A and B are shown apart, each in its own frame.
Chain A
Amino acid sequence: MTARERIAGNVAGYVDDRTGAAKWMKKNLTKVFPDHWSFLLGEICLYSFVILLLSGTFLTFWFDPSMREVVYDGSYEPLKGLEMSAAYASTLDISFEVRGGLLMRQIHHWAALIFMVGIVVHLLRVYFTGAFRKPREFNWIIGVGLLTLGIVEGFLGYSLPDDLLSGTGIRIAEAIIQALPLVGSYLAFFAFGGAFPGEAFIPRIYTVHILLLPGIFLALITVHLMLVWYQKHTQFPGPGRTEKNVVGYPLMPVYMAKAGGFFFIVFGVTAFLGAVASINPIWLYGPYTPGQVSAGSQPDWYMGWLDGLVRMAPPLETHAFGHTISWNILIPGLILPGIMFTGLALYPFIEQWATGDKREHHLLDRPRNTPNRTAIGAMALTFTLVSLINGGNDIIATTFHLTINQMMWFSRIAIIVLPPIAFVVTKRLCLSLQRADRDLVLHGRETGRLVRMPNGEFVEVHEPISAEKAWLLTSHEQIAPLELPDHDAAGVRRPAAIKNKIRNRISRATAVAVPKATETERRELEGHH
């Protein structure tokens, strides 16, 4: 035993004496993780969160979250002598007086954008592969919670510097609060400590942004990761992979090196963006005052779809019995997003109800094999994309020589018409891909080589696919549709008859599939080739 080994042994013994750690450390260091690039998307979020904590802490050492008025006397000439809030002035100081300050501000903001991008692509991967099914429904709900809180945290974060662009965003947020029936004006006055903008808002959202929400994030992310750890990660279907095993690499050393390395990659890419691309140049926006606004005012991208919905909303307001309800604000700002996020959170249960499938699933689906789910996802994506594009309609109009009026009307129509079209097209695409898979298994790969037979016939040579590939293309389950009865054994109509009928119909639509190729069919065809 070398000296190093002896010392390490003593340390380990010291810790194990007090915690019993050796047993579970040994078990967990050999834990197996499956390897696929799409499993790293969640890690992008996790590492971005760490980067946000680190860079954010740096910024808190210089940021002054106060709205009291100061006169700027720093090195940025075009703002010298102007009155502004201490929050804005301290952000200018971070940018121009603190070495590395502007870099850290930019890294922090780019990391926030990447965090949200990561959440979305991770969500899409989990959704389209069906990783949210039992036993992972709870983790899915936590994920949707992280998405929602991330949007809020990002909005509060870029509002802290109190510049013209983010202040405009706060004005709009206040209008949404104010529009709430019954309690709106009270909630708005409580949130802002009086009329907009007041002097209380920035210090208050500072507390939420650096303490409350990060605390909630830490707790949620910890539970999220612990569930993944305990339930073990899902894996893609393939040769040797079953519902009862995990095929991959051990935590130590492979996964530690790869995942640890990926942290440095994410940090490096974020730092690269912070180095070469300007983001949130608050010195150009100017300090916030309600009497000013810039053309082309948008929120950060993850709120762009909300802005787009608000822009395309019809001008509906009800005035009755001395009261006003602003549907033009409530529907796009609260009701529609509420429906979307609730639907998203409940989706695992909705799908379970539709298919009647209550079993555990650890093998992922290939999206083509679940055409209904994939099509619903495409529909939701289309809806979000149309609203996101409309959020930037004025910049798109000037760039591509369109009019904002055209963009608005296009969006109003497209958001209703395009999602169903996307559903139908995607479903058909999935079924075509299933058919192609089936042909591949039964007939082999088309090599493109033409051979002339002795009898004069031209045939294309097909190469049979490997056993591994054949298994990959046929290992999926094709769930039979539900056939819930509307009468019981004695012929009496059940109370849930209508619900069952609807459920049957939905599960039939969900179960539409091209039948898998079977070994029997392959053998039959072999005789013909």
Chain B
Amino acid sequence: MSNEIEQIKDPGLPAHVHRTTDTDPKAAARAERQVAILFGLSALGTLLLIYSYIFVKEDIFFFIPVMGKTNAHQLGLGLGMAIALFCIGAGLIHWAKTLMPDEEVIAYRHEFRSEDEDRAEFIKTVKAGASAAGLGRRPLIKRTLGAALGLSALTPLLLLRDLGPLPKDDLTKTSWKAGTRLVTDPGDRPLRPEDLEVGAVAQTLPEIAPGAHRSLSDIGKDAVLLIRLRPEEFNLDAERLSWTHEGIIAFSKICSHMGCAVALYEQQTKHLLCPCHQSTFDVTRAAKVIFGPAARPLPQLNITVDAEGYLVARAPFNEPVGPSFWERSS
């Protein structure tokens, strides 16, 4: 009808356009040669790889622009492999494109949905099977089977219990105790206040018995950063000020956010920066967080000097060090 809107029609598959290799035998021969050259290049690549592996010494370096002083052995192996693989691929693709038939083929899709009779048969089969099993008529079997399977699912969970110890108070305790000396990391040398100038930092660890070994897990809790300022530069309450000594203040080096080592001290701004997520701590205000995602300041270690004048902890940390956890109360 003249009122009906007519849509544009599908003109059908366009007529096939022949490639030059289909019509011109010389072009086909040329394509064949090109494929052969590519496969030949691949062989050369493999030969380069074999040669480099056996004969090129591993300590030869030479300069290539952009890349710098490059290892000849490594480059020979790698380029040889790359050429070997790439050229086989290029050859196969070129062969398919130029010489294999490129007439488009049509296949037909069938509906996935099964016939209604098949569906009905399926349902009948399942129902028959289920009633043959008789679970519906025998609730005792059903319930006890459920209980048995459910209980056995607990077994793998239980068997994994010894994956690790319970945390207990491990997360809240470090090796620092009253009187523990601060020693340099590395070097294990005890420090006196006069060893640090104003503006100086020192990476420290708690002193251990001679011959004893520090595990990485110990370092992961005990690492402490010492910073020396002028005492008048502090902006602390009386208690925290008493935890410093002659302008030297000590913080846990383990970031209170996610545990990276915080030792990036900006001498002029008196800020500590954690390089992982850019949390910034103000040293003059007991490592208060002034920027970034950390929610708590770094725990401060109460330090003093012992009878021989070496810097020691006066007490353990007053809070857990490192990232937060559910049982942490503050």
Contact = CB atoms under 8 A, between A and B. Distances in A.
Determine direct contact between A and B, CB below 8 Å. Answer: yes
A474 B86 CA distance: 40
B7 A518 contact: yes
Contacts of A288: 216
A326 B326 CA distance: 8
B108 interface: yes
Contacts, number: 321
A135 interface: yes
B216 A290 contact: yes
Interface residues of A, number: 115
B283 interface: no
A102 B295 CA distance: 42
Contacts of A176: 258
B287 to A, nearest CB: 13
B209 interface: no
Interface residues on B, range: 35 or more
A264 B88 contact: yes
A317 B256 CA distance: 12
A32 B11 contact: no
SS class, residues of chain B in contact with chain A: loop
A239 B14 contact: yes
**Of residues B166, B203, B264, which shows the largest number of chain A Cβ atoms within 10 Å of its Cβ?**
B166
Contacts of B171: 178, 185, 195
A276 B78 contact: yes
Contact of B102 (A197, A254, A393): A254
Contacts of A245: 106-109
B53 A100 contact: yes
A109 interface: no
B43 interface: no
A189 B166 contact: yes
A290 B10 contact: no
B257 interface: yes
B102 A290 contact: no
Contacts of B254: 290
A316 B293 CA distance: 8
B83 A253 contact: no
Given A268-B88, A296-B275, 5 more contacts: A197-B217, A232-B109, A268-B82, A315-B279, A468-B14
Interface of A: 31-32, 99-100, 102-103, 106, 135, 168, 171-172, 174-176, 178-186, 188-198, 200, 231-232, 239-240, 242-250, 253-254, 257-258, 260-269, 271-272, 274-276, 288-297, 307, 310-317, 319, 322-326, 328-329, 332, 360, 362, 393-394, 404-405, 408, 441, 467-468, 470-471, 474-475, 516-520, 522
8 contacts: A179-B325, A195-B217, A257-B93, A272-B86, A290-B261, A310-B277, A319-B329, A323-B329
